[in-house]
Amino acid sequence: MLESEKLELKREYTEDIKKEIVAFANTQGGELFIGIDDQGQVIGVDKPDLVSAQVTNMIRDAISPDISLCTRVEVRQMDSKPIVHIQVNRGHKRPYYITKKGMTSSGVYIRHGSSSAPASADAIREMIRETDGYSYESNLSFEQKLSFDYCRKIFEQNGIRFGKTQMQTMNMLTADALYTNLAMLLSDQCFHSIQLACFQGTEVGVFTDRQRFSGSILKQLDEAYAVMNRYNRVRSEIHGLYRVDTRDYPEAVLREALVNAVVHRDYDRDVSTNIRIFDNRIEIASYGGLPPNTTIDT
């Protein structure tokens, strides 16, 4: 019996055992044996019933959220010696954390091979997403001093009213009149950006143009598309008596690619959407990935 991603051995009970339990619940579950050393030798436990009670109380009092339904603690006999066995299933309310430490890297643990390690901030956010269907856009914006001049102009140009009622309907404004991150993205104060670089030739090297678009994401879309379209060259061919103009890229394709990059970007990270224009191609990259439990084949 050797330690693994799903097996932890402890010679005796210590308070640090809660780190292992948290890590198992946050990862793929596992088993913890008290009374067996790291080499797999059964040592046994003095007063196993007391140790079992200590573990049960620790699980109840020192770990959040309630993890009791995901754990089972029992006294067993192994090599004619009493040991305490703790079964931990993967939890449904992740991330679990040590209550005194809070939902931080010092309180949230995950399994890495045969050891438990603090979870990174990104890993904690990912667990929140998987558990609660986390939505960045619906969370409250840290910045509450927002204006919507550009957004209002676009709405009015399309004959759509833009007021408090409409903002609440679109989940830009909460019932308590607080702005969400969606409102921040549409506001003039949006701190995310699109960066565009135009290169000479077909490789990254000599810049011929560099621009950064900021403000409302609606404004960023308009300005970035205008520049992309400017570099979308027109080629003319003569067919009989007529001249036929064609562009390097269909305008609808450019527009859809840009909109998709902005709409499907992961705004939980402060990383710009990047556009790179070469003589033979246009590359658009936005930060993010597939939703949890989704694969390319799904």
Q: Are residues 179 and 248 in the same domain?
A: no
- Looking at residue 143, its pLDDT comes to 84
Distance CA 29, CA 139 (A): 30
Residue 48 lies in a domain: yes
Cβ atoms of residues 75 and 49 within 8 Å: yes
Residue 296 lies in a domain: no
Distance CA 229, CA 208 (A): 16
Residue 178's identity, in one-letter code, is L
Q: Are residues 167 and 219 in the same domain?
A: no
Residue 116 lies in a domain: yes
Three-state DSSP class for residue 214: coil
Q: Are residues 157 and 78 in the same domain?
A: no
* Residues forming a β-bridge with 140: 180
- Looking at residue 280, its pLDDT comes to 92
Q: Are residues 173 and 207 in the same domain?
A: no
| pLDDT at residue 271 greater than cutoff 90 | no
Residue 69 lies in a domain: yes
| pLDDT at residue 199 greater than cutoff 60 | yes
- Looking at residue 282, its pLDDT comes to 94
Q: Give the mean pLDDT of the chain.
A: 90
Quick one: DSSP state of residue 70?
G
Q: Are residues 172 and 245 in the same domain?
A: no
Q: Are residues 14 and 114 in the same domain?
A: yes
- Which CATH number do you get for residue 128? 3.30.950.30
| pLDDT classification of 166: cutoffs 50, 70, 90 | very high
Q: Are residues 175 and 209 in the same domain?
A: no
Residue 31 makes CB contacts below 8 A (sequence gap 6+) with 6, 7, 8, 85, 86, 87, 88
Rg, C-alpha atoms of the chain? 28
- Looking at residue 135, its pLDDT comes to 72
The H-or-E segment that residue 65 falls in is: none
pTM: 0.56
| pLDDT at residue 142 greater than cutoff 80 | no
Residue 267's identity, in one-letter code, is Y
Distance CA 230, CA 292 (A): 38
Pairing of strands 282-285, 109-112: unpaired
Count of structural domains, the chain: 3
Q: Are residues 163 and 119 in the same domain?
A: no
Give the end of a domain, one of 186, 215, 231.
Answer: 186
Q: Are residues 104 and 174 in the same domain?
A: no
Domain range enclosing 67? 7-132
Tokens of 41: 């030798």
| pLDDT at residue 292 greater than cutoff 80 | no
Q: Are residues 201 and 181 in the same domain?
A: no
Q: Are residues 124 and 155 in the same domain?
A: no
Task: Report helix, strand and coil shares of the chain as percent, to nearest 5.
Answer: 30, 25, 45
Pairing of strands 194-199, 30-34: unpaired
Q: Are residues 58 and 103 in the same domain?
A: yes
Residue 159 lies in a domain: yes
Q: How far is CA 15 from CA 21, 52, 146, 252, in A?
A: 11, 13, 47, 61
- Looking at residue 85, its pLDDT comes to 97
| pLDDT classification of 3: cutoffs 50, 70, 90 | confident
Q: Which of 18, 24, 4, 19 is nearest to 94 (CA)?
A: 24
Residue 258 lies in a domain: yes
Tokens of 90: 């993967």
Residue 251 lies in a domain: yes
